[in-house]
Amino acid sequence: MSSRLDVVHSGVRTSLASVHENMSEDWDEVSFVISSRYRIAVMQRLVVGPATPSTIASDADVGISHVSRALQRLRERSLVDLLVSDDRKKGRVYGLTERGRQIWQTIEAENMV
């Protein structure tokens, strides 16, 4: 009986460790986004729907170079995705990934913006 409890206990411990690790990763991403007003502006605009960098810059009233840098960093962390071919140089359309949406929902739910 003791070994069965150990196995169950061990399984629960593994599950809790996994949940804790995922929560920690979520908070790392939340912290990453909210540490830049440009990343916030990009995510805030993309939650409405896909957009080009120039549209994001115009809607958020920030410089295009800041938007481009924010998009690049968010894309590196899989929070934003390029929705057209990488080869395309003009008219590049970006959107939030599912992960990006989850992180943004956490940011809004915690009133962090």
Q: What is the pLDDT of residues 14-60, one digit of tens each?
A: 454 444 455 677 999 999 999 999 999 999 999 999 999 999 999 99
Q: Which CATH number fits domain 2-109: 1.50.10.10, 3.40.50.720, 3.30.360.10, 1.10.10.10?
A: 1.10.10.10
Shortest CA distance to 95 belongs to which of 85, 77, 105, 80?
Answer: 80
Are the C-beta atoms of 94 and 82 separated by less than 8 Å? Answer: yes
pLDDT at 62: 97
CA distance 87 to 79: 20
Residues 6+ apart with CB under 8 A from 40: 33, 34, 113
Give the chain's radius of gyration (CA, Å): 19
Are the C-beta atoms of 51 and 45 separated by less than 8 Å? Answer: yes
Question: Domain ranges in the chain?
Answer: 2-109
User: How much is the average pLDDT of 63-80?
Assistant: 98
74 vs 16, more confident: 74
Q: What Cα–Cα distance (Å) separates residue 52 from each residue in 7, 67, 105, 111?
A: 52, 10, 22, 27
Total residue count of the chain as it appears in this document? 113
